[in-house]
Amino acid sequence: MRRLRIAFSIAALLTAALAAAAGAATFRGRNVDGRWFAGSAFNQYAGRYDDVRIKFSGETAYVRFGSGSTLMLSLREEVIADPTEIEADDHRRGLHWMLKVQDLGSK
């Protein structure tokens, strides 16, 4: 009986840990949610915006422009393979964006 309780406790802890990790934007296995990164944003209609700040939160990317306005985008993938080619969509406006994050690998 004691072993069964221990097994259930361990299973509950693992489930909680996996649930916390799920839904986070990651780069090289590291959670990158909640921090502002330097970068640039591009789409074919608006052009390229340099010196933007980009923050990830799960499947969402927030792009803050120099004017102070913020754009909310949906990431196509939560796992970031290449920080210079992060695809995201503005579903409200029907626009596709390419994000480039310069310091994603740093802590």
pLDDT in tens, 69-106: 999 999 999 999 999 999 999 999 999 999 999 988 76
Percent of the chain with pLDDT over 90: 73
Question: 71-89 b/e with 16+ CB inside 10 Å = b?
Answer: bebebeebebeebeebbbb
Whole-number pLDDT of residue 1 = 59
- For the whole model, what pTM was predicted? 0.76
Band (pLDDT 50/70/90 cuts) for residue 13 is: very low
Band (pLDDT 50/70/90 cuts) for residue 48 is: very high
Mean pLDDT, range 34-56, rounded to an integer: 96
In the block, residue with structure tokens 């499947």? 59
Q: Kindly state the tokens that stand for 30.
A: 């590291």
| Other C-beta atoms lying within 10 Å of the C-beta of residue 25 | 23
Percent of the chain with pLDDT over 70: 78
In the block, residue with structure tokens 């406006």? 93
Whether residue 59 has pLDDT greater than 70: yes
List helix spans (H) across the chain.
2-21
Whether residue 14 has pLDDT greater than 70: no
